[in-house]
Each structure stands twice: as structure tokens, then as C-alpha cells.
Amino acid sequence: MVGGSERHELIEDERRRVSEHLQMGTEMMVYQQRAERLTVQVIMESMQVALIRSDDSRIVRLLDIFEFKEVRQWETCKDFQRFNESRGKLQDSKTCFTIFYGSEFILKSLSLKADSVEDAEKWLTGLELLRQETLAAHTPEIIESWLRKQMYSVDQSKKNRFSFSLSPFSQPVSLFNTDSPESSVVPLYDFQNFLLYRQKEAKNLNQIQELMTIFIDDTMRKTNYPVLTVGEFLSFLFSKENSIWNEKFSEICPLDMNNPLSHYWINSSHNTYLTGDQLRSDSSTEAYVRCLRLGCRCIELDCWNGPEEPVIYHGRTMTSKIKFKDVVKAINDHAFATSEYPVVLSIEEHCDIKQQKMMAQMLRDAFQDKLLTEPLEPEADDLPSPNQLKGKIIIKVGKKVKFRFYRHDCVISDNKLYYSEEKLEEDYPELHLSEPWFHGELAEGRITAEKLLHDFCKGRDGKDGTFLVRESKAFIRNYSISLWTSGRIQHYKIFCSSENGQWSFYLTIKQRFPSMCALIKYYTQNLITYDRLNLRLNGFLPRLNFVPSHQIGWFYSNLSQAEAEDYLLRIPRDGAFLIRQREEPNHFTLSIRVEGDVEHYLIYQNNSKYVLADAYEFGNLEDLVSCFRDKVFYGKTKLRYPVTPQLVDRFCMVREVAKDNPLGDQCKGVVDISKCTVGEIVLPLTFHFIYYSILHFYDLSENYNYKEVRSIPDNMVPKEGNESTVEKSDSILEYNRKALTRVYPCSGRVDSSNFDPCPSWRLGCQMVALNFQTADKFMQLNSALFSLNGGTGYVLKPEWMRDPTKKKPAKQTIRIRVMAARHLPSPDHIVSPFVQVELWPYTGVKNVGFFAEDNGLNPVWLGQMNPPKCFKVDEPDLAFLRFVVFEEDTFSDAKLLAQATFPIRGIRQGYRSVPLKNRFSENLELSSLLVHVQQVEVRDLFYIYINVKRANKKSFESFLFETYSQTVYSD
């Protein structure tokens, strides 16, 4: 049996062989603009992958392993797909792999094909090992690699001048008592004291020796009593090993993963499929992969009917479409690559029943036992914990389910409910669905309505009263009418309610109508006197795709007379009608139910007119139907009930009913009540409603259970201010202790901008969904929060949020001084960096900054002109410190060069390095600030201040400044 040490040696030996193989280089097919054969080789000194032409050994391209995010064996990459289309199918997909790299949300890719599976496996294994080594490399190793890169770059260009300086100080800061700082050294015990008293770090001598050895250049000085030169000490100060961030907060704490899901903030994405804005950008399965690998645990799928199968895109926009099954496959492949904890799929459902069934089957087939299909503990009082749901995928379906209820005569006998045919209302309330002025649910609601009306009316000198009616996005069976008046657009709510089975529509409660059509007709003839409005409806904006008669529910292009009569006789109301195409060209038949029988009337087309019964002429079939909806067609009968295929389906169901039932011949069906659950409605995706039932968060009642998810736009989250807001905030916080809330960007954010997530987090809202593709400060705050707990996507909320009996932690004051910077990213010119320090959530303290003119290489901020800056932290559990480096420009807005954002709870004190990131929160190689940090609880600071005031009677501000000055300049 092979022992542990031998096994380790075998592993190391294999790693060495793989590394040597990569350094020797391998000829492969490389897919870029075109497919070509190149030598692919790893350059270990600079940690780069080089693409080299075999004939002249010229380097075509260099890739930094530092930027590698994933190496994937994947034959369906877009580069391979493009090659397949032009050259035929690849012989062996196992020889193909793709490198994904970059420092933005959308990654670049390089696709490669090795000559053998063995070669491909070595490169897959080797590149992943090198990627991990690069992430774990110590700062001196990174510096050496970076210097090599600069040298190789100069050697290739033959013309670039190369100069650098890693020390930001012309003279080092005197942190120790020395007469000659330039020649001084830092012995072991001085370094120990520095860590203990300045950095507040208690380490034993072995740990300190190990740390110092990392930064010593000379091997001869790596002894039991190491000594750092000033240059090595400065290298340590700016290093990631001396980071302001305490890495213990980035570790997973398994014991913290046993609380109910409602006790966590959950990393959540909005419009996960998009790569840009909500109007024209591309949808991509890679956006899902990127979000999942960034630790996102709640992703969104907007599902719509496709030609043959469901698709995902931002509905009713120009965003591109991707197949639902491709997205599900990508999710299955990458859901647990970064985190083993549960993934929630937030599905916005817009598909018909047929494609919903397809979706359900695709989910089952792809996820199999990963899919949560039944509660873990049906009788539990709380949601399960992340530990209980490891490796599980939960479906949350978000759709306003608009069930329509109809009246029946019913009798209950012997646990059975017998019912008659449905009884249609005399005034059918949904006639408006086929009206040209009714636009249904518009994407982006009033914003889209305003754009449509503005474009329609402005170019035509639009008349006051031009209107459209749309469905409310917020409320079921509620509508809005948008009006053009005096060059402006006004929106008014049309209310809809039902009492005793009778529907009513109204603008004001004093004037009610049995249908929407009746309301619109009334206000075309009478003034609307409401909310200072005084006009009639005067023309409408027709909805798109309204004109073609073959798309209208009551028109049938292939229906016989016998079938038409069968359809109409099943509808138990006079006035049911349809129009069907006849075999003769330009001939149609109007079939209508009158006095229990069916009558047929000929319609033929004469030039551009439609002639009915040789008595009436109309411009089109829609005008014909519209006319006889308003006026009597035959006797007392109007065209009242369009016989659509959906209506026919409802009435064509065959039901086996015993003849001796209580309703006799009127009985059309029977339900066994003993097998029913009251109030349960089953949909094709219902088996996924395990823990999540979607409710809109417009009213918080006391009656709720842990299975609910409240879903609200960000503009409805209560903001701080008045007493009612405080009261509402308390009730929301209480709700979120038990159940879940998802907050998403409001409809006006068509540019995919994000909102400040802090107010939602403060209320305990778990799933605060942001646009991951948008690199703004709010996404940076999100990245900072979810860097906690190992990037698992689940962060346990503070104890006071989970338990109302617990108190908030003491307030703090944090003092920051930015001292210097190193290796700032810069364009091809000299920059004047400006460093801004911010505290989030914003507490009224003005952001403070430090400016260095024409020095982007190694700026220094020292002296009395740059005193420390103080921030009061009211809620340390939910506060963030943000450093932003701008390029100051006199003639334009400041340009962001770098940023770093940290939760206050993980900030370390002392002289610390701030590793900088780009706007996408990706690490910038070697780029860092040097700052001094001091944190003091407010109560401790108060007692110190009282003592100083008694002794010296100095001001509080003077006390703060002088105390900090002594810390920096003394000793």
C-alpha cells in the first residue's frame, strides 16, 4: 500500500512532468479569426501562454495565466461551431478545449484542438494547476513574473523604453527608531513588535520567520533570525500578505450554514441572460456560466414561447433569444462549480401550457435528482438550511397566474360535487381582449406606452384624447389607460371588480360599466371629468399585429359548416359567433347562435369592401364585428361572444356522469371532493412550487407563511425618513426572519443600471437581484458582501436581524489615512491620481479624497496637509469601506482607474495594503494603496475623550488629529 508521503511524491512527480510538457510546447489547431496550426507553449518565468508560428518561431499572441478563469473541455464552443459549419464535424471532441480569460464580465475565449486525447488531458490538467498556483503565488513571485513580462514585452517591440519603480517613497517612512533609514534593516524582534503593536497581530516566532522569509531576496539571509531590508519591508507593506482584508472572513464556516434560508443574504442576479442593456443586447448562456462561477445562487430565466420550443430573452424587445434547453444544460454543468450550496432558478413564465410542459420535462431530464421536487420536512415550521439543500436546484416560478372563474349550478351529495355547464355573464367582461386599442401587458409598462403614444402622435399632430389601454404589471385584472393631451401623456387606472359574479369596470366609483368596451364607448361620447381632466376619447393607437384576420380568435380558415354548428351549439348563449373561410376565393360565412339555433350569413369581398347579406358594406372583417357588437344584428341578438379555440376547448370536454345525478340532464361533470385540496390550483410547473409561492409585496399582512416569496421592485423598498417608514421597515424585517423577499431593479432601468442594495439588505431582504453585467459601485458592494463565507453565495445575516431580542453591535469610528500607492493602472500617458474614500451605506459624511499631481507611478500622500479622515459607522455588520482611484481630468469627468470595496467587519488595523480591483471587481496585478487604519468603538472613544478633555481641555477634533499624528510620526 502506498503511504501518504509516497502518494504526495507521486502527485508532485506527475505535476512536474505535466509542467515540463507544457513548457516544451505542443502543436495544435488554434481557432481565432481562422483555424491555423500553431505551437502552444507555457513560459513559466512570466506565467504566460504563447502562441508561436512553427515556421519562423514568431510569437503571435501572449495570454496571461493571471487572467485565466476556466479551462473547459467543450466541443460546442462558438469557435468550434463556426469551424463545424464550414469544415464538417470534428473527429473527437475530447481533444478540444477552450480557455476562458479576461477581466470583465464577458470573458474572451481561445479554442484549441490537440492531436490526441492524452495531449488535451495534459493541457487541461496543467493549465488548471498553473491557474491555481498563480492565484496562490506570494507577492515577490508576482513581482518577478511581472518584471519578466515587461522585459519580454520590450524585447518584442524593440522600441519601447522600460523603466519602473516599485518603491513609492523617495525616502522610506520612519516606522522604527533609526538614524539612517536608507541603510537601516528590520530585525526579527523589531518586526514582531511592529506586527503586535502597530498591526494588532499576535504571531509566534515560527510564523514571523516564515513570513519574513517570503520577502527576503538573498538566500543567505534566510536564517533562523531573518532581517528585512527597507526595500523588502516596503514590499511587505504593499503586499497582499499585508492586506487590509482579514482572510478569515473569506473562509467557509460550515456551522453557520445550518440556519433557515430566510436567515441569509443570497447572491442574486437580475436578467441573468443579458450581456448588456434590456433593449438591444445579446442574450448568452455564458452569462449564466459567469454568474454561477462568480458565486451567484439565484438566477433569472425569462421564458417565452419559441417557434418549436421555449426560449429565453427580454420579452418584446430586440434582445437576442437563446434556447431554454441550452440554458438548463449550462446551469446543470456549472451550478456547483464554485459553491455546493443550493441554486434558485427564478423563472418568469410567459409560455403557453404546451411549452410549459416542455420546460418541465427539460428540467427533469437535465437536473434529475438535483431537482428539489418535494419538501424535505413537510411539517417543518421554517425553511430548510443551506446545508440540508447542498447540491439541490430549487425552482421559483414568478408569474401572475390569471385564473378566470365562471359560474355553475352546483349540488354537493355524498362527497361529490355535481356541476352544470358554465353560465356565461350577460355582459361578457373580456370583449376588450380582441379590441385594437387594447395592448395587453406592455414590456416596461408606462415607459413603453409613453414611447408608443409619443411616436404615434407627435408625427401626426396627434389629437387630444388619443389613447391606448394596457394591462397593469402590478395588479391582476387591473388596467391603465394612457392618454395624449396637450402634448403630454397622462396615465389613469381603470379598476375592475366583481360582486356576486357581476363584473364592473370604472375610472371613478360613481360611474361603473359591465365591460371595458362599454367604458371606452361611453367616454368616446362623453367627457372624462376626473383629476382635472376634461376631454373625450378621440381615436386610439392600434396595437401591433392586430390587422390580419387569420390571427383573430373568432376567424377560422379551415372549418366546415357542420363543425361550426357543433362549436356554436356547445356555447350556451345567444350571440356566440364565428367567421369562417369558404372554399370559394374571397367568400366567408358569419355563423351566429340565435334563439338556441345556428344561423349562417354570406360575406363576400367586392373590390376592397366586405359585403354582408347584400345589405352591409365594411372595410374589413374587424369593422363588421365591431359594428354588430354595438348594434343589434338579428332580433335582439348582437355579436357578443367570440367563439375562440380556447372557448371551444373548455366546452368540448367529454365527462362521464351518472344519469341518476342530482342535476339530471343539466349535469356536465362531477368532482370527488374527498380527493381534493381546497384552494389548490395545479399547473404544469406546480411540482416545483415546493418552498416558493410568489406574491407581490404591495401589502404586508400578518397572515403569511415561510413558503412565500415577496417580489418587489427596488423603488418600492421603504427608505429612511418618516415614522410610517420606520414602522413599515420593522414589519418587513420581521417578515424576513421567517419568509423570503426578492428585490429587483424597477422597470425604468432599461440600461441595466443597478440600485443601491444596502436599504434592502438592512431590511433583511434575502435575494437582492442586481445586473451582474453592469460594473457599477452597487455591483461592487454586492461583490464585497459575498466575498464573505468563502464566496458560497450565502452570508448569514447579523444576529439582531435574525432574533428581535438581540441588540445591534456598538457603533464605531474608523479613521483612514491614504499614504501612498503603487503600480496604479494607467493609460498611455502620465496621470494625476485622485483617491476617494467612501463609507456605505452613506451616513452623511462627505466623501474625502487625496490628490497627487502628475504622479501615477508611485504617488505619496504624507504630511500635515493630509490628516486622517474619520467615519462614523452606525451598523458595523452592514457597512462597507470603498477606495476609488480616479484619473483627474480638468476637461472631463474623472475616469475610474481602480477600486476596492470591503465589509467593515473584516477590516484589519494598522499600516495595510489595499489590493486594488478594476470596475468588474477583478484583481489588478500588484496594484495597491498603502493606508493606515484605526477602529475604535464609540463608547471607548467617548471615555478617552472625556479623560483628555478633563486633563487638557482640548477639542475633540484636535484630540483625534494629534493622537493619529503621534501614531504616524513618532516612534
| 810 burial type by CB count under 10 A (0-12 exposed, 13-18 middle, 19+ buried) | exposed
Whole-angstrom distance, CA of residue 969 vs CA of residue 701 = 59
Name, in order, each residue with C-beta under 8 angstroms of 534's C-beta and a sequence gap of 6 or more: 527, 528
Question: At which residue does the C-alpha cell 367567421 appear?
Answer: 579
Query: In 224-297, at which residue ranges do the beta strands (DSSP E only) sit?
Result: 228-229, 264-269
pTM for this model (two decimals): 0.71
920: which DSSP letter? T
pLDDT at residue number 173: 42
User: What is the average pLDDT across 805-815?
Assistant: 91
pLDDT single digits (tens) 203-238:
999 999 999 999 998 888 888 899 999 889 999 999
At residue 159, the pLDDT reads 42
Please count the CA atoms within 13 angstroms of the CA of 968 that sit on its side-chain side.
Answer: 25
Beta-carbon contacts of residue 946 (< 8 Å; ≥ 6 apart): none
Residue in 8, 21, 138, 314 annotated catalytic? 314
Asked if 314 is an active-site residue, the reply is: yes
Over residues 238-283, the pLDDT tens digits come to 999 999 999 999 999 988 999 999 999 999 999 999 999 998 899 9
DSSP lists the bridge partners of residue 301 as 347
Q: What percent of the chain has pLDDT over 90?
A: 41
- The answer to whether residue 686 scores a pLDDT higher than 50 is no
In this prediction, residue 453 has a pLDDT band, given cuts at 50, 70 and 90, of: confident
SS3 239: coil
Residue 692: which pLDDT band, with cuts at 50, 70 and 90?
A: low
Beta strand 767-770 pairing with 393-398:
unpaired
Grid cell 533609526 is found at 178
Q: Which residues of 383-414 are buried (b: 16+ CB within 10 A; e: fewer)?
A: bbbbbbbeebbbbbbbeeeeeeeeebeeeeee
Q: Rounded to whole angstroms, how far apart are CA atoms 86 and 125?
A: 30
pLDDT at 640: 80
Written as one letter, the residue type at 264 is Y
Residue 473: band (very low, low, confident or very high) from pLDDT cuts 50, 70, 90: low
List 642's β-bridge partners, or say none.
577
Q: How many CB atoms lie within 10 A of CB 48?
A: 21
Which of 20, 21, 64, 61 minimizes the C-alpha distance to 38?
A: 61
Tally of CB atoms within 10 A around 261: 24
Does the pLDDT of residue 323 top 60, yes or no?
Answer: yes
Closest CA to 610 of 631, 599, 598, 626: 626
Q: Establish how many alpha carbons lie within 13 A of residue 461's alpha carbon, considering only the half-sphere containing its beta carbon.
A: 0
Contact call for residues 896 and 885 (beta carbons, < 8 A): yes
Grid coordinates standing for 658?
351518472
| Average pLDDT of the residues in 468-491 | 80
pLDDT at 939 over 90: no
CB 927 within 8 A of CB 823: yes
| pLDDT tens, residue by residue, 63-106 | 999 999 999 987 556 666 666 655 555 556 788 999 999 999 99
pLDDT at 81: 64
Given pLDDT bands bounded at 50, 70 and 90, which one contains residue 682? very low
| Residue 799 vs residue 415, higher pLDDT | 799
* Nearest residue to 421 via CA among 569, 564, 562, 565: 569
Are 317 and 271 a contacting pair, CB within 8 Å? no
Query: Is 270 known to be catalytic?
Result: yes
Determine whether 509 is exposed, middle or buried from the number of CB atoms within 10 Å of its CB (0-12, 13-18, 19+). Answer: exposed
Q: Which three cell numbers stand for residue 699?
A: 401589502
Q: Which of 270, 334, 432, 823 is catalytic?
A: 270
**Assigned C-alpha cell, 163:** 523603466
Split at pLDDT 50, 70, 90, the class of 421 is low
